[in-house]
Structure 1
Amino acid sequence: MNNEEKKLRIEIFENVKKIYKQRFKNDKFIPGETIIPFAGRVYDEKEMISLVDSSLDFWLTAGRNAEEFEDQFADFFGVKSCSLVNSGSSANLIALTTLTSPSLGEKRLKPGDEVITVAAGFPTTVNPIIQNGLVPVFLDVDVETCNVDANELEKAISNKTKAIMLAHTLGNPFNLDKVMEIVKKYDLFFIEDCCDAVGAKYKGKNVGSFGDIATVSFYPAHHMTMGEGGAVLTNDLKLSRIIRSFRDWGRDCYCEPGANDTCGRRFQMQMGTLPYGYDHKYIYTHIGYNLKVLDLQPAIGLEQLKKLPDFIKTRNNNFAMLKQMLLKYEKFLILPKATEHSEPSWFGFPITVKDTSPFKRNTIVEYLESKKIMTRMLFAGNITRQPAYIDINKRVVGNLEKTDIIMNDTLFIGVYPGIDDQRMKYISSIFDSFFERYV
């Protein structure tokens, strides 16, 4: 880059700062008028400048920003490998599909094998199981933690069980001691869906570093954002190679974009029934996808990653404030609790209306929404009751009684960093005004 271009870029970046300030100069909270989202992106001029800087390079596919982000994000989690993909949903698809690779030998997942998961969750934790011709085995959850009832795990085991795939719900880790005990006892693969739980810890160790593979989402609602985007993490370098193969069309070559002969044997291999010396860049050992990111996305992510520790701290502080303000209404509500031995990184604040309460969930949801406080259900509720999943090949352990409680009686509200003290005071006043008729 010559000096003239550097000078022009500096001028552009100064104007980007001005645009950011102009955009938010009149941004103020008006109680009862300003919507309080359950989640949202939090950023400043640094993300905008990084994005513009990357766009000016015009290296649109994954490049220098992707490589730098993958290294830093792997370090954050304390794992050896991070592979960026275009969404958290794609991350889950790649993670599960990786375990079907023929290179894993007899342990690989094959159609008809069973994967244990929960019915109370988000579809993209379950969909890859179905999409790979595997059978989801649905377990019930604990209402207070919204996580798998780990004491029921062993009941789900059959001679077809090959893997466990679970999400740390709303940033609250599930009982990893019990899960890992079952994983080791039955020699199972284990995928941790950390899309809602970046930065959460169990016994001082980051979630996402326990299983064979972990996944993350960078959708705007999550702990940090790239707009879209996701990541697949692992400590197993063999799995890392397979992950990147499935992400990159299924090719055997692992050259980064722009590289040509990383292995040093590009024209010196014989694979399948191809002729000797066939270009390694065009040899495919998996039936894969193209799920790469644009370099524009990790350009944003690198700035977001710098803010992530403060984001997590603010989320947890907001959670603590909400719990303190709602303790006086425990007569009516089941409030969330952290899993034993865990340090959550809260994504949301779940609230379950007790069946003895004089009102139903819809009553409080409609009231909060009317006061501009956004609410959400706990994702799919009981996914086995969703239209798309009624007739799938599945196995259900027990009657999913607690999952149905969550489906019927649970909502959650936001704790994201955009909720400041002023907004928190307003939320508190609205809850008080709702409950004054019942207390």
Structure 2
Amino acid sequence: METAARPQPTVNHDRRLVPTGGQRRRRSRDDLRADRRLRRAPRGTGHSPPHGWQKGASGVNDQTSQLHDIAGQADEGQLRGLILDLVGEYARRHHATPAFVPGASPVPVSGKVYGASDMQSLVDSALDFWLTTGRFNASFEERLAARIGIRHVLTTNSGSSANLLALSSLCSHYLRDEALKPGDEVITVAAGFPTTVNPILQYGLIPVFVDVDIPTYNIKPEMIEAAVTSKTRAIMIAHALGNPFDLAEVMRVAKKYNLWVIEDCCDALGATYDGRNVGTFGDIGTLSFYPAHHITMGEGGAVFTDKPRLKRVIESMRDWGRDCWCAPGTDNTCGKRFARKLGDLPMGYDHKYTYGHAGYNLKITDMQAAVGVAQLDRLDGFIDARRRNFAKLTELLTPYEDVFILPKATPNSDPSWFGFPITIRKGAPFGREQLVPFLEAHKIGTRLLFAGNLTRQPYMKGRDYRVVGSLENSDTVTERTFWLGLYPGLGDDHLGYVADVLKGFLTKLVNN
């Protein structure tokens, strides 16, 4: 766990619902405007704890009754501050990361990195008991949009859902002749994670598989234009393990043939190409906030775009397919809730229950967003740590390039590395089936490059797809590639141990 300076608790008094005379009233527009002002206010400007409460370990008194007495004297803001201070103390005492012991401690490929402020933000949201998306989600979407440099961010419950929303939005009737239709082709890569490709199949489109390059593990740039036919309507590709694909060539082809572009950035938050954040080149970008990813909410994801029309469709698809865009707990934002006639519905049919799409319910809770807000504060540090770990592991493993193909960044890019892919060279005196179990037996976590060649997966049998050229490298990935962790919870001691174990494995081979 990241150990940070002890934060002052952030106390917020805005509510979506507030008690009045034993009842809860719905918030007014003035209340909502106050929310927005509070979200723009500097953090950490809450009430002081009640008299008699001392911060720090010495303030957690031995007698519970004294704590109850202090709490009994506190107003709502002070009591909240007291609770959050105690949560911070608990986090520092009971969520500290134990020291690394080589051979005894695990070296995971990924994991959540969190501190007292993350737990305090989560509890702050829980005290609101606003269980759907609310003030924390609004803050997260606003801050993430600013960080990426994009106009619209919409959270969703996973990166896979983000990909589903991105692709499904391009099939919307709102896009008229530009909409994707069953039978249209979408260019993608054969080696990757299934949920980059699955929405293509689910909407009756045809995936067109292109091989990847080694050692970038991204789409072969020279094959993109070769994959285009009169049926091609879109390109949907992931930035492999945080390494950007060749966006210059992808966007050149997309512009030439008027193709939609979806950038799956689930493993690449913070990566840049030509100095610009990935996800901002194409029409839509997606992210994941699963614990393995750059920041986490536990489960969660996001879809983002600069195009207001796409934002409207994505929001509708995420929120049951309804036409209403009111936030949870608010009504009649447009002022025309009962003043429209849509479809074959009667005049004045409640806009809140009018549906323009066959949508889903893919929102997150405000408690998840609260964790995300705190995680955003340390995103830059997380990215820096991943880059440092990549450089360190490259340095440590360079002596073994006679048997390993080490990863390389795409030219003109600055990756935000998700993992460290290694391909065992053809002709090496060992195979992945020997090395990976050896590493796992020494508590070093490994992963394959997701599904490998997707066309070889059981669920693809009998499905309609097209392959352009050879998938030789995708087969190599399936048979000889794995990756190691770089996440910020790892340091030089972990990586040094990994290098020592690999050296031991290779030395044993030579001696035998």
Q: Please, which of 456, 474, 480 is the counterpart of residue 403 of structure 1?
A: 474
Q: Please, which of 360, 375, 379 is the counterpart of residue 304 of structure 1?
A: 375
| Equivalent pair of 2:211/2:219 in contact (CA under 8 Å) | yes
Once residues 261 and 210 of structure 1 are traced to their aligned partners in structure 2, the CA distance between those partners, rounded to angstroms, is: 35
Cross-structure match for 2:19: none
Once residues 347 and 143 of structure 2 are traced to their aligned partners in structure 1, the CA distance between those partners, rounded to angstroms, is: 39
The reply on whether 1:14 has 2:105 as its aligned counterpart is no
Once residues 11 and 255 of structure 1 are traced to their aligned partners in structure 2, the CA distance between those partners, rounded to angstroms, is: 34
SS at match of 2:377: helix
Cross-structure match for 1:277: 348
- Name the aligned partner's letter for residue 421 of structure 1: D
Cross-structure match for 1:435: 506
- Name the aligned partner's letter for residue 124 of structure 2: D
Cross-structure match for 1:36: 107
Q: Please, which of 448, 452, 456 is the counterpart of residue 381 of structure 1?
A: 452
Q: Please, which of 114, 133, 146 is the counterpart of residue 75 of structure 1?
A: 146
Which structure would you say has the larger Rg?
Answer: 2
| Equivalent pair of 2:193/2:451 in contact (CA under 8 Å) | yes
Cross-structure match for 2:95: 24
Cross-structure match for 2:164: 93
Cross-structure match for 1:264: 335
Q: Deviations over 1:201-237 (max 9, x none)?
A: 0000000100000000000000000000000000001
In the TM superposition, structure 1's runs of 4+ consecutive aligned residues that sit over 6 Å from their partners are none
Moved more, 13-22 or 155-164: 13-22
1:436 is displaced (CA, Å) by: 2.0
The reply on whether 1:416 has 2:487 as its aligned counterpart is yes
| Equivalent pair of 2:208/2:465 in contact (CA under 8 Å) | yes
Structure 1: stretches of 5+ with no match in the other structure: none
Cross-structure match for 1:165: 236
Cross-structure match for 1:189: 260
Moved more, 5-14 or 218-227: 5-14
- Name the aligned partner's letter for residue 360 of structure 2: Y
SS at match of 1:293: coil
SS at match of 1:82: strand
1:399 is displaced (CA, Å) by: 2.7
Q: Deviations over 1:59-93 (max 9, x none)?
A: 00000000010010011110000000001010000
Cross-structure match for 1:102: 173
Cross-structure match for 2:298: 227
Once residues 378 and 192 of structure 2 are traced to their aligned partners in structure 1, the CA distance between those partners, rounded to angstroms, is: 28
Once residues 342 and 463 of structure 2 are traced to their aligned partners in structure 1, the CA distance between those partners, rounded to angstroms, is: 37
Q: Please, which of 203, 206, 213 is the counterpart of residue 135 of structure 1?
A: 206
Once residues 473 and 182 of structure 2 are traced to their aligned partners in structure 1, the CA distance between those partners, rounded to angstroms, is: 30
Once residues 219 and 156 of structure 1 are traced to their aligned partners in structure 2, the CA distance between those partners, rounded to angstroms, is: 32
Q: Deviations over 1:290-336 (max 9, x none)?
A: 00110001100011001000000000000001111111111101110
The reply on whether 1:177 has 2:245 as its aligned counterpart is no
TM-score of the pair, normalised by structure 2: 0.84
- Name the aligned partner's letter for residue 79 of structure 2: L
Supply the RMSD in Å over aligned alpha carbons.
Answer: 1.2
- Name the aligned partner's letter for residue 410 of structure 2: T
1:19 is displaced (CA, Å) by: 2.0
1:183 is displaced (CA, Å) by: 0.3
Q: Deviations over 1:383-414 (max 9, x none)?
A: 11010112211111123111000000000000
Identity %: 53
Q: Please, which of 218, 225, 237 is the counterpart of residue 147 of structure 1?
A: 218
Structure 2: stretches of 5+ with no match in the other structure: 1-12, 14-46, 48-73
1:26 is displaced (CA, Å) by: 7.0
1:17 is displaced (CA, Å) by: 2.0
Once residues 246 and 270 of structure 2 are traced to their aligned partners in structure 1, the CA distance between those partners, rounded to angstroms, is: 16
Q: Deviations over 1:24-64 (max 9, x none)?
A: 35722121111111000000011111001101100000000
SS at match of 1:436: helix
| Equivalent pair of 2:396/2:496 in contact (CA under 8 Å) | no
- Name the aligned partner's letter for residue 17 of structure 1: G
- Name the aligned partner's letter for residue 344 of structure 1: P
1:18 is displaced (CA, Å) by: 2.7
Change (3 A) 1:181 1:26: closer
SS at match of 2:397: helix
Cross-structure match for 1:251: 322
Once residues 47 and 39 of structure 1 are traced to their aligned partners in structure 2, the CA distance between those partners, rounded to angstroms, is: 18
Once residues 437 and 27 of structure 1 are traced to their aligned partners in structure 2, the CA distance between those partners, rounded to angstroms, is: 31
1:425 is displaced (CA, Å) by: 1.9
1:269 is displaced (CA, Å) by: 1.1
SS at match of 2:75: helix
Moved more, 372-381 or 419-428: 419-428
Once residues 392 and 106 of structure 1 are traced to their aligned partners in structure 2, the CA distance between those partners, rounded to angstroms, is: 26
Aligned residues: 439
Q: With CA pairs under 8 Å and 6+ residues apart, which has the higher RCO, 1 or 2?
A: 1
Cross-structure match for 1:57: 128
Change (3 A) 1:26 1:380: closer
SS at match of 1:68: helix
Once residues 271 and 351 of structure 1 are traced to their aligned partners in structure 2, the CA distance between those partners, rounded to angstroms, is: 56
- Name the aligned partner's letter for residue 466 of structure 2: R
Moved more, 349-358 or 258-267: 258-267
1:426 is displaced (CA, Å) by: 1.3
Once residues 155 and 276 of structure 1 are traced to their aligned partners in structure 2, the CA distance between those partners, rounded to angstroms, is: 52
The reply on whether 1:394 has 2:465 as its aligned counterpart is yes
Once residues 29 and 160 of structure 1 are traced to their aligned partners in structure 2, the CA distance between those partners, rounded to angstroms, is: 55
TM-score of the pair, normalised by structure 1: 0.98
Cross-structure match for 2:434: 363
